[in-house]
Amino acid sequence: MTTSTASAAPRTYEVRTYGCQMNVHDSERLSGLLEEAGYAKAQDGRQADVVVFNTCAVRENADNKLYGNLGHLAPVKAAHPGMQIAVGGCLAQKDRATITAKAPWVDVVFGTHNIGSLPALLERARVQEEAQVEILESLEVFPSTLPTKRESAYAAWVSISVGCNNTCTFCIVPSLRGKEKDRRPGDILAEIRALVAEGVTEVTLLGQNVNAYGVEFGDRQAFSKLLRACGDIEGLERVRFTSPHPAEFTDDVIEAMAETPNVMPSLHMPLQSGSDRVLRAMRRSYRSTKFLGIIDRVRAAIPDAAITTDIIVGFPGETEEDFAETLRVVRESRFSSAFTFQYSPRPGTPAADLPDQIDPAVVKDRYGRLVDLVNEIAWEENKAQVGRTVELMVAEGEGRKDAETHRLSGRAPDNRLVHFNADFSQVDAEGVRPGDMVTVEITYAAPHHLVADGPVRSVRRTRSGDAWESRTAAPKPATVGLGIPSVGVPAPLPDVPACG
């Protein structure tokens, strides 16, 4: 290496993420890989030398969004010699060479199974001066062994499995992510202990079908055992998981949730439809009675549990009677929030070829009625929280209006978002930080958040707050460990829709 090369500023990167929490976590690995290869994260407002799109293929507008963004970058790249563009994720796995045909200025296309190849592909594209397309059909290295740069000091995604063995007719994920691959319990727990040692106090266990964990090594109670094992990790205060599948959600998991103090009283349980006929057409191997039975048993064991869901409106063949069944199940389930979607056909899925596709105007009308009901119930459930005293983990960047209202934000144990008054006059709260814990009384409820405008009752400074303060105190050279990150993730669900 020449002296001039050694002293040159590192090339910068930016990762743009679309889609589910699995993509969010994959983007942390992409950042870790690039930093280990010598790249530096681009400063805000500065054009990055490498722009990476980590794409989603679940929604109909995913293609349009990607190609629109690539189109905007074409003149930018032309004005910045040496700039590179890479496209990865589910849409890249699906479209492959189509991307470089539609956007020939893209330098690298890589799939969901070979994110670890990105630095080498970028270098090969630079040297050979031609696009590199590399898509593997199966997973060769479990992603958690890759370098990871976490975006938060206090909370972390921990992947326990990748892929899915279900065959839902609307979902393209299994064909892009492959069959389920499970990590060994010891590897998962070792990663969690390492995260806790670095200051993380909350983890979210992550999988395409998280409660099917153990199918690969033949232990049907592996997931409940994993939850209980998390309860034995000293310093780990909050454990969450996403996304389970109702067909495989068993009572031993409910018991583990209820009996393990650091497993939080929050559950994301995808419904998709309340109509048994539609569920059958979706190949969802449960029916509304089973779904409601799960909800009842969870609430009996964990009375304060907040339950969220996913719902699709306008699946092919859905009648007004089918939609009425969905509304019925929503009323009975009393969800604290729901991700609601208008069905859109995805090429490559069985549902895309089904007859009786629903008129978009009908879908839009049903969607509006569903959203109104979901919001009405969520608001009623939130109003029931008024007067309760809760302990919040102070969050970073949660409230869009916090600067205007002079409030801070945090997550309650049940994962509800709470904006609270930053008046610490009655407590010793010098330098309250993201990751610290505050106790407040809920004074106001809105459909999607709660407010605590009274004075903060207590503050508990934590190792997570120490980690956040250490990370932000002064610029330091980026450090990336091999699958053992130094900091965690953005706030846990329900901020990002699940893939289940």
Q: Which residues neighbour 219 within 8 Å (Cβ) at sequence distance 6 or greater?
A: 225
* Of the candidates 265, 263, 185, the residue with the CA atom closest to the CA atom of residue 222: 185
What is the maximum span of the chain, computed from C-alpha positions, in angstroms? 74
* Of the candidates 107, 98, 6, 93, the residue with the CA atom closest to the CA atom of residue 50: 107
Beta bridge partners of 313: 342
Phi (first) and psi of residue 189, to 5 degrees: -65, -35
User: What count of residues does the chain have?
Assistant: 500
* Of the candidates 280, 201, 295, 193, the residue with the CA atom closest to the CA atom of residue 244: 295
Would the annotation count 499 as a binding residue? no
Pair 99, 106: CB distance under 8 Å: yes
Cα–Cα distances (Å) from 331 to 123, 302, 326, 378, 424, in that order, read: 55, 19, 9, 10, 39
Q: Which residues neighbour 84 within 8 Å (Cβ) at sequence distance 6 or greater?
A: 49, 50, 51, 107, 108, 122, 125, 126
Q: Which residue has the tokens 């879908």?
A: 363
For the chain, how far is it from start to end, CA to CA, in angstroms? Answer: 48
Burial class for 120, CB neighbours closer than 10 Å (0-12, 13-18, 19+): middle
**Half-sphere CA count of 474, side-chain side, radius 13 A:** 1
Burial class for 195, CB neighbours closer than 10 Å (0-12, 13-18, 19+): buried
Cα–Cα distances (Å) from 456 to 416, 426, 460, in that order, read: 17, 7, 11
Phi (first) and psi of residue 346, to 5 degrees: -110, 120
Would the annotation count 230 as a binding residue? no
Cα–Cα distances (Å) from 95 to 157, 192, 287, 486, in that order, read: 28, 35, 34, 34
Burial class for 154, CB neighbours closer than 10 Å (0-12, 13-18, 19+): buried
Cα–Cα distances (Å) from 429 to 52, 83, 154, 327, in that order, read: 40, 46, 18, 45
Bond prior to 243 in cis (omega within 30° of 0)? yes
Beta-carbon count within 10 A of 359 CB:
9
Give how far the C-alpha of residue 7 lies from the chain's centroid of Cα atoms, to the nearest Å. Answer: 38
Q: Which residues are annotated as a binding site for [4Fe-4S] cluster?
A: 20, 56, 90, 164, 168, 171
Q: Which residues are annotated as a binding site?
A: 20, 56, 90, 164, 168, 171
